[in-house]
Amino acid sequence: MAHVSGETEFLVDQLGDNALMDGVQDNNEACAGFDVEEDVSSCSHAQDVVSNALQAQSSDPITRSSSLAPVASSNIHPMITRRKNGISKPKIFNVQLHETHVDVHHALADPKWKAAVLAEYEALLSNDIWDIVELPSGRKPVGCKWIFRVKLKADGTVDRYKARLVAKGFAQVPGFDFLDTFSPVVRFATINILLSLAVTHNWEIRQVDVNNVFLLGDLQEDVYMQLVPGFEENAGDGRRLVYKLKKALYGLRQAPRN
């Protein structure tokens, strides 16, 4: 490691940003330097450079006072350390403000939820979703259940109470209850084309929300489902009655395709 004296360090500052130090001569009275921009080597006497610099500092009109107030050493903004795992876990995961029923019999006892259940059931009947038949031998019906949700407005107030009947599609047997599945995913290229056509032809764009859209598709397979909880019907002669679905129902594996 080379030792740089205070005087030599000062000379480096005086030569400027474009100068390179070649070293100090043997008599320690001169300093050799090389100016990059001028491409000229120069040699300056150390004593002359130091004396001229000291005179310039003494004639500096800026007054320096040693009575300046000391700077507070305390850290105003303390350093915040990061958690080792990098994951901030919330204190509360969910706060349920509105009660949702999981049992249809309790829901039918509540006027708000009863209206939602009856509205869903009437929609199923009006769309002619099923026929009530006897379960064929060797076939296993698919189960179904009610899903209850509270729809909220943007301000957090209750918009409506929603009840949805869904099939337990996870119990469907491939080859018997369905042949293939399909995920209704739209391509962004299709959306861009439609928007471009609308802009070109000055078309009006509207968003449409179709109620019970899954109930509009016809089924090609023979799918049997258990009776709706809360609306069971008894044949009276020991026969097991089930629904033979004619249209797609929420939860079926082939419902998005239809």
The contacts of residue 173 (CB under 8 Å, 6+ apart) are 140
Q: What six digits make up the tokens of 258?
A: 């239809």
pLDDT, averaged across the chain: 71
Q: pLDDT tens, 23-48?
A: 444 444 444 554 444 444 444 444 45
Look-up: residue for tokens 């209750």? 158
For residues 232 and 250, give the distance between their C-alpha atoms in angstroms, rounded to a whole number: 19
**From residue 40, how far is each of 11, 32, 49 by CA, in Å?**
17, 11, 18
Q: Which residues pair with 142 in a beta bridge?
A: 225
What's the burial of 177, exposed, middle or buried (CB within 10 Å: 0-12/13-18/19+)? Answer: buried
C-alpha dihedral (73, 77, 82, 83), degrees to nearest 10? 100
pLDDT at 198: 93
Q: pLDDT tens, 53-94?
A: 545 555 555 555 455 555 555 556 566 666 666 666 666 655
Q: Give me the helix-helix angle, 46-58 and 6-15, nearest 10°.
A: 80
pLDDT at 155: 85
Q: Which residues pair with 56 in a beta bridge?
A: none
